[in-house]
A and B are shown apart, each in its own frame.
Chain A
Amino acid sequence: MKKLSLLFIPQSGNNYRASLLQPGFLGLFIAIYLLNQSLLKSITIIKPGILGYSSEITVEKVLSQTNQQRQNNNLPSLRFSSDLSQSARLKAEDMFANDYWAHNSPEGSSPWDFIKSTDYQYSVAGENLAKDFYDTPSMVKAWMHSPTHRDNIVHLKYKETGIAVVNGVLGGIKTTLVVQHFGTPLVATTGQPTAEEKQLNSLPLASSQVLSETQQDPVVSSPSISPVAISKTLGTIMFVIIIGALIIDGVVTLKNKTKRLAGSATGHIGFLLVILMLMLFTRQGSIF
């Protein structure tokens, strides 16, 4: 009990400063957290795919919500293109195979190379990328908040789109990559639409279809252990302990009118609370 009180309550035994707030303990907190991060990193290297982010994103939802955004901007809906969908899938598979997350591959392949590889002849084309998102609305919202991604979604010149939602392991972490290709064919399509195109182009806007047959992947159905959730939990516990110690330390010091050399409790509490809020409300997902 005495040891516990030394951790939180300033007294002669801890030089009138809660032990938890002394450099040694703060350093220990940082060391424990870094150890946890190293452990998580080791897992991604030794057993790739154990940690990851689960997702409920589907091609249908992405198409539907893209067209919903276009409709909101008084633009015609984009037609689903099997060729663009194929190029998007090739791009996603290439990112997993070569372990990168960018518009251009380390070998120098651009999005246009993937589109051309499917014999899709275009006058204009574009690409949006997303990873680690749990649901489609937050992903589309993130794209709409980014001027360059938004421009692709509500571009007047685009007539068609193709989407790939592919599961795999990137950087040792299991995740879902979403690649959306946009384009306008150089010449109007004269061939018969494929069954997939017929099905997807007949979907109502903002529909919530279940995962289509072509995307079902046994890898995603198993729930993943999110490394971010582990880090957030550990970080939150540490933040709460330190903020608690700061409050107790400040109140006792004020009550006892102790004169000592220490940092501003008000400053520390304000800073840590803001940082804690930012950490807790960080939204999952990344766009490129």
Chain B
Amino acid sequence: MLTKQIKQNPIEYLALLFILITGAVAFILCSYHPYWQRRIIYATSTAYFAWSLYHHHRRGDLDVSIIIEYLLFALFAIILVSSTLI
């Protein structure tokens, strides 16, 4: 499932990998600085949402239901991680 999707759009999934790795590295580098870690999570989730719009637009299946789905996943991540930062 995973490999099939990646093989179909390798560049787009590489871009996603870049977004996620950059976000993770920045988050770790800002350890003990919750203010900055929160902003990194906002940025990573926003970048993921933007990636999804581009990805589905290219595939030609960008729909309101898909936009809502990604929006909820991004929101879910932001809320959960932000609340554990002290």
A interface list, Cβ under 8 A from B:
21, 23, 26-27, 29-30, 33-34, 37, 53, 132, 142, 145-146, 228, 231-232, 235, 238-239, 242, 250-251, 253-254, 261-272, 274-275, 277-279, 281-287
Q: A232 near B73 (CB under 8 angstroms)?
A: no
Alpha-carbon gap, A284 to B72, bound state (A): 27
Q: A250 near B1 (CB under 8 angstroms)?
A: yes
Q: B5 near A270 (CB under 8 angstroms)?
A: no
Alpha-carbon gap, A102 to B83, bound state (A): 20
Q: B81 near A275 (CB under 8 angstroms)?
A: yes
Q: A278 near B27 (CB under 8 angstroms)?
A: yes
Alpha-carbon gap, A182 to B74, bound state (A): 43
Nearest A residue to B4, CB-CB: A254
Alpha-carbon gap, A267 to B5, bound state (A): 9
- Extra inter-chain contacts (18) besides given A33-B76, A271-B20, A286-B34, CB under 8 Å: A30-B75, A33-B83, A34-B79, A146-B32, A231-B80, A238-B76, A242-B76, A250-B2, A261-B63, A263-B70, A267-B52, A270-B16, A274-B24, A274-B44, A277-B24, A282-B81, A283-B32, A286-B32
Alpha-carbon gap, A283 to B33, bound state (A): 10
Please give, as numbers and ranges, the residues of chain B lying within 8 Å of A30 by CB-CB distance: 72, 75-76, 79
Band of interface residues on B: 35 or more
Q: A145 near B32 (CB under 8 angstroms)?
A: yes
Alpha-carbon gap, A37 to B4, bound state (A): 39
Nearest A residue to B16, CB-CB: A267
Q: B27 near A269 (CB under 8 angstroms)?
A: no
- Which single member of B44, B72, B77, B84 contacts A23 (CB below 8 Å)? B72
Please give, as numbers and ranges, the residues of chain A lying within 8 Å of B77 by CB-CB distance: 271-272, 275
Q: B73 near A268 (CB under 8 angstroms)?
A: yes
Q: B79 near A263 (CB under 8 angstroms)?
A: no
Alpha-carbon gap, A136 to B61, bound state (A): 53
Q: B20 near A270 (CB under 8 angstroms)?
A: yes
Interface residues of B in 25-44 (CB under 8 A from A): 27-28, 31-34, 37, 41, 44
Known interface pairs A145-B32, A271-B48, A278-B27. Does A262 touch B69 (Cβ–Cβ under 8 Å)? yes
Please give, as numbers and ranges, the residues of chain A lying within 8 Å of B72 by CB-CB distance: 23, 26-27, 30
Alpha-carbon gap, A53 to B84, bound state (A): 13
Alpha-carbon gap, A34 to B72, bound state (A): 14
Interface residue B11 (Cβ < 8 Å from any Cβ of A): no
Alpha-carbon gap, A192 to B77, bound state (A): 58
Alpha-carbon gap, A30 to B75, bound state (A): 8
How near does chain B come to A91, taking the closest CB pair, in angstroms? 20
Please give, as numbers and ranges, the residues of chain A lying within 8 Å of B63 by CB-CB distance: 261
Q: A251 near B85 (CB under 8 angstroms)?
A: no
Known interface pairs A266-B5, A274-B23, A279-B84. Does A261 touch B65 (Cβ–Cβ under 8 Å)? yes
Known interface pairs A228-B84, A274-B20. Does A23 touch B65 (Cβ–Cβ under 8 Å)? yes
Interface residue B50 (Cβ < 8 Å from any Cβ of A): no
Q: A23 near B69 (CB under 8 angstroms)?
A: yes
Q: A265 near B24 (CB under 8 angstroms)?
A: no
